[in-house]
Amino acid sequence: MTRIDAKFAELKAAGKKAFVSYVMAGDPDYDLSLELVKGLPAAGVDIIELGLPFTDPMADGPTIQLAGQRALDVGMTLEKTLQLAAEFRKEDDTTPIVLMGYYNPIYNRGVETFLTDAKAAGIDGLIVVDLPPEEDEELCIPAQKAGLNFIRLATPTTDDKRLPTVLQNTSGFVYYVSVTGITGAAEAQAGDVGPEVARIKSATDLPVIVGFGINTPEKAQNIASISDGAVVGSAIVSKMAESQSVPDTLAFVKSLADGAHKG
């Protein structure tokens, strides 16, 4: 059982929904990023999604693209991202960390070396958005063998014919993308998302977490009420960029987490 599996078991026993927060590693710099990540569990975050900066993202909207660029500009790398996770693990051995990014930096490092290093740093799961199920032998299967969850995205365009393929080697949870398009570009609507979540849940025992288009405590509550939890990314990244204040950002995160936990 991974930390992700244990967290969902704990939440289920407590009758609570999950709140997942996304932050970009190294934005606006290493030290502030680490301070923010360290503060997330006390702000109510159940699972931390840690963005791996990359030059050519394809699913990220302008907010997260700019965050990645800021991180790259101050010298953030895959190695430093894993170092940040390892620093966090010195104080917290229970909160799951999901590394979210693209395959190129992992391929460049070498899959076997990366998985060894990620496991040692305390990473629990991977979301690699540019590796479809047809490429599972490349990273997904080795990651599962190494004890890391491989989390797959399902979208409004994932029809009943495609869904079993998407779910085949997925573990930890299913990340349902609530809107067609990029992060931060549109608002999630519970009325639209609910039937899709139900459709996915009828095909898997895994928790279904909903992300994209959630930016207020009310929306987090609404989305969590029809799923197993909510992910917020762009709104948190924006708050940090605007305020340059870790305490202010964590206060905002807590409001979102409180909303999701009421769902």
Known catalytic residues are 49, 60
Residue 18 token pair: 């999950």
| Residue of 44, 40, 20, 16 lying closest to 263 (CA atoms) | 16
- C-alpha span between 263 and 256 (Å, rounded): 11
- C-alpha span between 50 and 94 (Å, rounded): 15
Q: Where would I find the beta strands (DSSP E) of the chain?
A: 18-24, 47-51, 97-101, 125-128, 149-150, 152-154, 174-177, 208-211, 229-232
Contacts of 201 (CB under 8 A, 6+ apart): 208
- C-alpha span between 164 and 5 (Å, rounded): 21
